[in-house]
Amino acid sequence: MNKREAEARIGKLRDEILKRNYEYFVLNKSGINESVRDTLKQELIGLESQFPELITPDSPTQRVGSVLSGKFEKIKHKSKKWSLADVFSMEELKSWEDRVEKAVGKTPYVTELKIDGLNITLWYKNGILEKAVTRGDGSSGEDVTHSVRTIKNLPLKLFENVDLEVSGEVYMPKSSFEKLQGEFMNPRNAAAGSVRQLDPSVASERDLRMYIYSIGENNLKNPPRKQSELLKRFMDLGLPVNPEFQCHSSAADSMKYLEKWRKNREKLPYEIDGVVFKVDDFGKQDELGFTAKSPRWAVAYKFPAQQVSTVLEGITVQIGRTGAATPVAELRPVLVAGSVVSRATLHNEDEIARKDIRIGDTVIIQKAGDVIPEVLEVLKNLRPANSRKFRFPEICPLCESKLERAGGEAAWRCPNINCPGRKREGFLHFVSRGALDIDMLGEKVVDSLLEFGFVRDAADFFTLKKEQLLELPLFKEKKAQNVLDSIDKRRSVDLYRLIFGLGIRFVGERAAKALAAAIHAHGAEIAPKTFLHEMREKSIEEIESIDGIGEKIAESIYNWFLEIHNIRLLEKLDEVGLKLQIQPQKKLIEGIAGRSFVITGTLSRPRDEIKKTLEDAGGKVTSSISAKTDYLIAGEEAGSKLDKAKELGVTILDEEAFGRLLS
């Protein structure tokens, strides 16, 4: 971008940011997304640093509270201030728990909200607040006692005359932040900017608050031995503690807390940017210890920024395994939800027209969890003069067949069943985790196999030879063997996995399982040919009568088994020796089958295990008690559910009685 173009872009960005600030802070309009504003601002900062001569005093980048460093006394911390390791996904969180439990076994956890503020350490001497120090580099920080003393919920004197080093988060409530009308980017900056003021009256006016959550040096009698005890002890001392912390007996239980706050964070009167998970027991914390940077016994799950702005640089068309031609936005790469995104789905032709998306537009993209990112809207004020409308292609970009659009359908389709695009996606689906689950066959390997012509249909995966694999780029002996091993492991799979992997339209995992359960076999195994034969015998009405399969799915399944190339595929899978497992029928237990159960209290076995036992016996387990509940299985320390069961007259079973029911 040259200077003239940059100047024009900077002007537009500033207008858009100011407009958004005004709507958010002054008009209190809801739906103004903060991370969109942040990404616009980042782009502005980038351009301004490239062309510093274009910075003007009224630019929104010039209003962020400046850091008055060097003016505060440097203070050495009494104990090192660690920062927590961040995780951005459930997988990362789970692998942290796995590491913890591998080291110290199953253990209770405490979860706390991660307040988005400024970390401050306090020293109390004989119960009197003596010093407040910023985190700094972890070993020394700045003396900000004069500002922190003005924080209204912080006691200047504790209820006990103890020496104490504690840390916590200084934050600004949302309502106070909004009164500042755009002076800061976010409440965290506002809190930091207010604390680091030389004039303490500024902090005093700005209504800061603090929550305490960790302890350093201290001379407490009977020091707490758990994080949960520590937090309660803080309250006894008069220190403010965030009330939303919670204890959990297991990692699985703590996940619910995360879900709850992911959904409800907007309702809190302060900003949180995640949830902190800690091993409750201090003894186990000591066992786990620290890495060079952070404790091993705690981790911060950071909520991802889910909407950001970026530039749409082009539109391509991707062919799915059913032939659907999906327009894909090629984006300037941007960090969203913890990962860099450069492509997002545009759904279909009508969506592009409805949202008036043009090439060159600045767009807002959204990513939710593992879902494919999508383009939400266009920032029309930022549209460049040379933006271009997109014309949907008439032919398949991969096989040049004429695309078709059936009446009533939103998608254009490539009708060619041998279209390389369709085949590729079909193969990837066939080996994917929910289907055959051949983990060494990733996108790159499948692409190479297609390119070399070694795989023409899904059965060909099972006849691959090592010599063939060694011809592929980047393949050596070991990698080739790994691929062959991962295929060998899947020569015998659950029937539903194959059904799902076949890619029959509308047949997801659930329908695949329903269909598999309706297949009769002598023994636990069935050959593809026998399965094919059974399916060919079924009328469309018979398929539709299977529990969990509706009319549309039944029709699609029926038609699939009529097509010659599909029949040929199953015959070939039979020839290569694929074996299909059939799950044994449930052994229903009278007295349990068809009844509904609720489990509560502490039992000698994990709740999940009991749940599985009940479900295998044909019972149903629900989480809340109602008049429809047949039995409550109550362990020790059963609480409100026990009361409710009594109230509703639900039969209550202790563990012994439950055992009798099973036998």
Q: Which is nearer to Zn ion, 319 or 331 (CB)?
A: 319
Say which of 41, 81, 114, 423 is annotated catalytic.
Answer: 114
Tell me how crowded residue 642 is: count the other CB atoms within 10 A of its CB. Answer: 18
Range 416-420 contact pairs with CB under 8 angstroms and sequence separation of 24 or more: 416/323, 417/323, 417/565, 419/319, 419/323, 420/450
Binding piece for Zn ion, criterion CB under 5 A, among 19-27, 97-105, 414-422, 531-539: 414-422
- Whichever of 338 and 420 has its CB closer to Zn ion, that residue is 420
Q: Supply the DSSP string of 82-132, one letter for each residue.
A: --PPEE-SHHHHHHHHHHHHHHH-S--EEEEEEE-SEEEEEEEETTEEEEE
Q: In which residue are the tokens 């920024």 written?
A: 305
Q: Which is nearer to Zn ion, 424 or 497 (CB)?
A: 424
Q: Binding residue for Zn ion (CB under 5 A) from 18, 311, 399, 514?
A: 399
Site size for Zn ion (CB under 5 A): 7
Round to whole Å and give the CA distance between 505 and 306. Answer: 31
Note the Cα 126 to chain centre separation in Å.
45
Q: How far is the CB of 46 from Zn ion (least distance, A)?
A: 40
Residue 324 interacts with Zn ion (CB under 5 A): yes or no: no
25 burial (CB, 10 Å; 0-12 / 13-18 / 19+) is: middle
Q: Of 401 and 530, which has the nearer Cβ to Zn ion?
A: 401
**Token pair 């939400």 is at which residue?**
376
Nearest distance in Å: CB 393, Zn ion = 11
Give SS3 for 74: strand
Nearest approach in angstroms of CB 325 to Zn ion is 8
Q: For Zn ion, which is the closer residue by CB, 390 or 412?
A: 412
The reply on whether position 633 binds Zn ion by CB under 5 A is no
Helices (H) and strands (E) in the chain, counts: 24, 24
The 10 Å CB-count burial string (b at 16+, else e) for 348-361 is bbeebeebebbbeb
Binders in 69-108 for Zn ion, by CB under 5 A: none
In the bound complex, what is the minimum distance in angstroms from residue 290's beta carbon to Zn ion? 55
Q: Minimum distance from CB of 457 to Zn ion (Å)?
A: 17
Q: Which stretch binds Zn ion (CB under 5 A): 33-41, 204-212, 249-257, 417-425?
A: 417-425
476 is catalytic: no
Q: Which span (109-117, 329-337, 384-392, 401-409) binds Zn ion, by CB under 5 A?
A: 401-409
Quote the least distance from Cβ 311 to Zn ion, whole Å.
Answer: 29
Crossing angle of helices 251-264 and 90-104, in 10° steps, is: 150
Tokens of 357: 């998306």
**Sign of the CA dihedral running 155, 161, 165, 167:** negative
In sign, the C-alpha dihedral spanning 528, 531, 537, 543 is negative
Q: Which stretch binds Zn ion (CB under 5 A): 59-67, 105-113, 344-352, 389-397?
A: 389-397
What is Dmax (Cα atoms) for the chain?
86
Answer for which of 17, 324, 419, 634 binds Zn ion (CB under 5 A) is 419
Among 396, 459, 502, 526, binds Zn ion (CB under 5 A): 396
Does residue 325 interact with Zn ion by CB under 5 A?
no
CA pair distance 143, 132, nearest whole angstrom = 6
- Residue 396 or 499: the one with the smaller Cβ distance to Zn ion is 396
Please report how close the Cβ of residue 350 comes to Zn ion at its closest, in angstroms: 21
State yes or no: residue 414 binds Zn ion (CB under 5 A): yes
Taking CB under 5 A as the rule, does residue 398 contact Zn ion? yes
Q: Give the nearer residue to Zn ion in terms of CB position, either 140 or 401.
A: 401
Question: What does the binding site for Zn ion look like in residue numbers (CB under 5 A)?
Answer: 396, 398-399, 401, 414, 416, 419
What positions carry a catalytic annotation? 114
